[in-house]
Amino acid sequence: MAAHRQALLFVAVVFAVASLASAMEWKVGDAGGWRAQFNKTGWADGKTFRVGDTLRFMYPKDNHTVIQVGREDFAACNVQTNNKLGAWYSGNDVVPLDKPGKMWFFCSVPGHCDNGMKLVIDVVGTGAAPAPAPAPAPVEPASPPSSAPTMGYTVGGAVAVAGAVLASVLAF
């Protein structure tokens, strides 16, 4: 029984660490792909997109495009814009989410954006933690600099999750 419990714990910890460390690939629109009137699907609702994740846009390549633009061009469906932040045409396009903040996409085929073929997402940093409170002035001499804070947070988060999993495993 103890061995069984240990095996369970090991698996749980591996999953907890992997879920915090590994990047997600989001298939835009799931099985339906990137398609007309995409905004009606509510596909992005409730999803947390993180730096390091990717979007995969799948669509018939003769029928649609994927264009990344700024807020104004997105709002106006300005498909003629000269200010593209990215453009993809293959029908199977992988878009890296490489920094936090909003990303706006539309299809540039005439009429499609006007009919709602558009997507906005909000990418959060890997830590996804609320901004830390300003550190109080050190009383002791400063300690040597530690490793990168983002990494520290991720590892700390993994340990916290692993601890929670351990508690739940031991409870049954």
Ligand X SMILES: *[C@@H]1O[C@H](CO)[C@@H](O)[C@H](O)[C@H]1NC(C)=O
> In 48-114, where does DSSP find H-type helix?
71-76
Q: Does 112 bind Cu ion (CB under 5 A)?
A: yes
Q: Does 35 bind Cu ion (CB under 5 A)?
A: no
Q: Under a CB-based contact definition with an 8 Å cutoff, are residues 107 and 84 in contact? A: no
| Residue 116 binding partner per list ligand X, Cu ion, none, with a CB distance cut-off of 5 to 8 Å that depends on partner kind | ligand X
**Contacts (CB under 6 A) with ligand X, residues 35-64:** 39-40, 60, 62-63
Q: Under a CB-based contact definition with an 8 Å cutoff, are residues 122 and 71 in contact? A: no
- Measured CA to CA, the distance from residue 103 to residue 120 in angstroms comes to 6
Shortest CA distance to 69 belongs to which of 79, 58, 59, 61? 79
Q: Does 78 bind ligand X (CB under 6 A)?
A: no
Q: Does 32 bind ligand X (CB under 6 A)?
A: no
Enter the tokens of residue 75: 């709002």
Neighbours of 133 (CB within 10 A): 6
Q: Does 116 bind Cu ion (CB under 5 A)?
A: no
Rule CB under 5 A: choose which of 66, 117, 119, 123 binds Cu ion.
Answer: 117
Residues in binding contact with ligand X, number by CB under 6 A: 7
DSSP strand pairing (66-69 vs 92-96): unpaired
What is the closest distance, in whole angstroms, from the C-beta atom of residue 120 to ligand X in the complex?
10
What is the closest distance, in whole angstroms, from the C-beta atom of residue 34 to Cu ion in the complex?
8
Q: Which residues bind ligand X (CB under 6 A)?
A: 39-40, 60, 62-63, 115-116
